[in-house]
Amino acid sequence: MRRTSAVFEAKETADPTLQEILVALSYALDLTEGAVPGHAIRSCLLGVRIALAMGLDHGTISDLYYASLLKDVGCSSNSARMCQIVGGDDRAVKAGTKLVDWTQPLKPELATVKLLWEQVLPGASRFGRGWRMLKIAARQKETSRELIELRCDRGAQIVRKLGLGDTIAVAVRHLDEHWNGGGYPLALKGRDIPMISRIMAVAQHLDAFCMDQGPQTAIDVLIERKKRWFDPDLTAVAVALHKSGDLWLQCLPGYPADETYATVMKLHKNKHKALSSADIDSICEAFSDVVDAKSPFTFRHSLGVRDAAVAIGNTLGLAEDRMLVLRRAALLHDLGKLGVSNSILDKNGKLTDEEFALVKGHPSMSAQILSRVAAFDEISVIAGEHHEKLDGSGYPNRLTEDDLSLESRVLAVADIFGALSEERPYREALGPEKITSIMEKDVPKKLDAVCFEALRVVMAGAVWPSKEDRREIGMGCSLPGMQAAAVKV
């Protein structure tokens, strides 16, 4: 029997720990980079082994552990820009650049040329693609600096928002510095680069190459790039661990993912750090920022959906414990969209059947990621249902009204409201009258009538910004409108 929100049976679980939540949500960050699932936790495991072999103190290793899980937390912020520059799949380009030496544009490797040719302006003429490649090569340094600064600065901001401190934030910010000073964002050199950043750079390199070309190639390229990209002392430690057979345990291609996950969960001694309900909400909000940063057209979408869902829930008189579940599901419902290319999300036109099939997979991916946190079990089910419809015409599982709880129905209404009230590549943000006229066509066949009526009450009390105000603050009207309505309710 399929698990759905309407028949969900809650089980008593322990309060989630910081470690449990961040390990689980790191899988969402892997999606952004087009990485093999589990990249962050394998990088964490490899990095900690190197740190232990060096005899680093427990505090530094603890910071390295959390920094490794969050090293890519800023990556969604440059996805739209990457797509704009290349004209193709940002996730494929990001994954590919992990395997090429982008610091030598005048001596491009065959793999670099092949990667760009496959991804630059798909469908364009040979001349158009070739011209775009020349432009990219000519501006390689400026472009690399811009993209890395976007991700590193945003990553450090989110780490600080999570309350993890300056050491981890600084380490994340300087992940892409190189030993010879050729990296970004500040061109730090040698031991001026934070130790944790240097270890993470080695660890992520090892995992990316190992997953694609095997462990020996990963070591060979590490050695070739030492003193240019990588700390020679860290390189020597990694090579020694490789030779002793201690480096790759639980990290090789084909190794059971659940066992790698279990190993990383056992690795950290402070795994039982207590989290308050407010702490958990802050983490959910921080990761909603990661999702919303992926596209300029979804900027603050998750927060807007949260505000709409909370306002509707208040109108319906939901109990406090139900509101907590609804609020967190709304914040995290679109985690799976990190696995969808911006060439699809930001497309100015109708999606192809193949493209829409990729979009339809994102609720299932959200549910899969969230289900790794035991205390988020119901949240994962509701998040996975936010595109389902009462008549079975939704996706991904074509559920019907008997399968969908009240909270799930509220989220579906709030998500549609949020999408319509925001700008899209093919239209401007819509106002309340247009939103109402579009949504009421689906009531009660597809959307719950009670939830929709609650939305109408909320909309009537909302303060709607003008087009000029929306343009100035860079968002749709859902966030300020729903915040005002939630207060009035």
- Which residue numbers are catalytic? 337
Q: Which of 190, 213, 224, 216 is nearest to 101 (CA)?
A: 224
Return the C-alpha torsion angle 313, 315, 319, 323, nearest 10.
20
Phi-psi label, residue 55: left if phi above 0, alpha if psi -120 to 50, beta otherwise: left
Question: DSSP letter at 254?
Answer: T
State whether residue 147 is helix, strand or coil. helix
What is the spatial distance between Cα 254 and Cα 207, in angstroms, rounded to a whole number?
A: 13
State whether residue 1 is helix, strand or coil. coil
Whole-angstrom distance between the N-terminal and C-terminal Cα of the chain? 38
Length of the chain: 489
Q: Give residue for tokens 């450090």.
A: 156
C-alpha triplet 360, 364, 369: angle, nearest 5°: 135
What is the spatial distance between Cα 204 and Cα 308, in angstroms, rounded to a whole number?
A: 39
What is the spatial distance between Cα 333 and Cα 330, in angstroms, rounded to a whole number?
A: 5
What is the spatial distance between Cα 47 and Cα 58, in angstroms, rounded to a whole number?
A: 13
Structure tokens at 84: 């704009």
Instruction: Find residue 400's DSSP bridge partners.
Output: 391
